[in-house]
Amino acid sequence: MFAKRGGTLRTRDVLRKGVHPRTLYALRDEGVLEQIGRGLYRLASGAAVGNPDWIAMAARLPRAVVCLVSALSHYGLTTQIPHTLDIAMPSHSQIPKVDGIPVRVFWYSPVSLRSGAKAVRMDGVKVRIFSAEKTIADCFKYRNKLGTDVAVEALRLYRERTRKPDRAALLEYARINRVVRVMTPYLEAIL
């Protein structure tokens, strides 16, 4: 069952398949399974997990999208070291509870949350993350919380490391985030 699902399963999925909780905990105690988060298990014999916090977050919060500094780090567009996992959640949704993971939540409108979000597979788990262009536009939107220097650095690194920078996509996401006036001078100077 674990092998079919990429080696990682939530407790409720295992229980739905008819496995008794005692069996699950016995497999954990014997070292066959490894608990990587609250209610999240993986095969101990599997390959090492690259981003355990991301996987635990994706399993516990399927509507969440990795954003801002965490997404910039994923794309190699920042020199910042993320100390928290930045996630985007629908506005007016319940505050997520993720034990043991330092999470910083940003509330997004439905349109902004849908635009630019894509799914990537990490250690057999689907993790939602914003595209590089959407992440840069979001950094300009949240420039007062992150600092304008983070957004400008991301735009510069995007220009240097991307074969064909997508100016149209950057402007489209800036329009969705209502930061076209803020971003345009930087786009003209850097791109």
The pLDDT score that the predictor gives to residue 98 is 74
Backbone angles phi, psi at 122, to 5 degrees: -130, 115
Q: Transcribe the chain into DSSP letters.
A: -TTTTTTEEEHHHHHHTT--HHHHHHHHHHTSEEEEETTEEEETTSPPPS-HHHHHHHHH-TT-EE-HHHHHHHHT--S---SSEEEEEETTPPPP--TTS-EEEEEE-HHHHHTTEEEEEETTEEEEEE-HHHHHHHHHHTHHHH-HHHHHHHHHHHHHH-SS--HHHHHHHHHHHT-HHHHHHHHHHH-
- Note down pLDDT in tens along the chain; length 191 residues: 777 776 777 888 888 888 898 988 898 889 888 887 777 787 777 766 677 788 888 878 888 999 999 999 999 999 998 899 999 999 888 877 777 788 999 999 999 999 999 999 887 778 999 999 999 999 999 999 999 999 999 999 999 998 899 999 999 999 999 999 999 999 999 87
Domains of the chain: 8-43 (no CATH), 52-190 (3.30.460)
The pLDDT score that the predictor gives to residue 96 is 73
